[in-house]
Structure 1
């Protein structure tokens, strides 16, 4: 998710010419740009975030929440790993690890819900025959966001299940009763039979 947030191409549209593409229009959560055929980009930052459409504000907020939750999930996962000395006993580490998995799932859901309304707006405008402005297509950032969200959700679920399975099966303790030779065990057996 942290790579999705600053990526430029959330939506892309091109104006095709006869020989070359004269201009490519693209936008993300922070700015809108046009790139000409020579590769020179001219960008305009959004002047006021509160004046933007509601879906862009929601997408930006959800993506920032996803990155923040992913950061805290990574810290919880570090403390919940069995190979670290930090975090306490095994039961406490299992609880911290399960919490990390839940935070990863929430982070993935935030990212998924951040990318989806943006993509919905693009596809709605693209397939609307009454929409007369320039139509855009889905950019690479949306696919990166969906892939990252899916991996985060799957990883969080696997992390929760792996820690809960290890927590349910108690470790078997074996007591050492001392060394018993074969001869001494036979003597006890035969001695008990002769009485």
Structure 2
């Protein structure tokens, strides 16, 4: 059962890696909002972490990389760094998960080393879930706040893009993966403690039996005196 959970964690971790890379690369973090009296549905604007894309009627999508990071709002600047950190954390987590599984040859037969590796993988998955959730939620909060802010011009208002929804789903997958690995680690630790306790009790019983046998074979001084007489 635990081996199946570890395989499931590997699969979910790989899905989380694909999700974090897709969210980081997608330009659909903020999309144009079709509101107001002067509605122009034939134009569409996408804004991402690295570029913005513009499409007009009967014209292909044209994307342009940002000339400077400083022109981006604060939430998108922070999202760039956090999403890159999230990708690195997921890669490290996948490596540790592969080494911590029972069927892997990593750490040989060192159970304690594998348990520590599995716990580290769960911790890194938990951190990657947070580093994905924070920028996605921050950008989503800013988009919603500006959308309902009457002081913001209608042409500058945006809606939630597809990348944000994928980011929330990816963060949930990473969180589930972390819970699975930490659960497996707790089960392994409890099993090791039980085996250690059983071994300690068996050793204590063996010592007691040896003492009893030794005392039983030792003749008393009174018995020796009777034989002498």
TM > 0.5 fold call: yes
The answer to which structure, 1 or 2, has the higher relative contact order (CA under 8 A, 6+ apart) is 2
Kindly indicate which of the two structures has a greater share of residues assigned to helix. Answer: 2
- 1:187 alignment counterpart: none
What SS does the aligned partner of 1:98 have?
A: helix
- 2:208 alignment counterpart: none
Residues 1:140 and 2:168 are matched in the alignment: no
1:115 corresponds to which of 122, 128, 136:
136
Residues 1:71 and 2:91 are matched in the alignment: yes
Change beyond 3 A, Cα 1:130–1:26:
same
What SS does the aligned partner of 1:85 have?
A: coil
Give CA deviations for 1:123-176 in whole Å, capped at 9, x if unaligned: 111010111142211011001011101110121022111122122113478x9x
Higher radius of gyration, 1 or 2:
2
- 2:70 alignment counterpart: 50
Residues 1:41 and 2:57 are matched in the alignment: no
Residues 1:24 and 2:48 are matched in the alignment: no
Structure 2, unmatched stretches of 5+, are 1-19, 203-229
- 2:220 alignment counterpart: none
- 2:123 alignment counterpart: 102
- 1:185 alignment counterpart: none
Residues 1:149 and 2:168 are matched in the alignment: no
Structure 1, unmatched stretches of 5+, are 176-195
Cα distance, 1:44 vs structure 2? 2.5
Please give the alpha-carbon distance, in whole angstroms, between the structure 1 residues aligned to 2:140 and 2:177.
24
1:3 corresponds to which of 2, 8, 22:
22
- 2:149 alignment counterpart: 128
Cα distance, 1:100 vs structure 2? 0.3
Contact residue 93 and residue 121 of structure 2 kept, 8 A:
yes
Contact residue 15 and residue 23 of structure 1 kept, 8 A:
no
Cα distance, 1:15 vs structure 2? 4.6
Normalized against structure 1, the TM-score is what? 0.81
Please give the alpha-carbon distance, in whole angstroms, between the structure 2 residues aligned to 1:3 and 1:130.
33
Please give the alpha-carbon distance, in whole angstroms, between the structure 1 residues aligned to 2:153 and 2:183.
50
Q: How many residues align?
A: 174
Contact residue 15 and residue 22 of structure 1 kept, 8 A:
no
What SS does the aligned partner of 1:131 have?
A: coil
Normalized against structure 2, the TM-score is what? 0.70
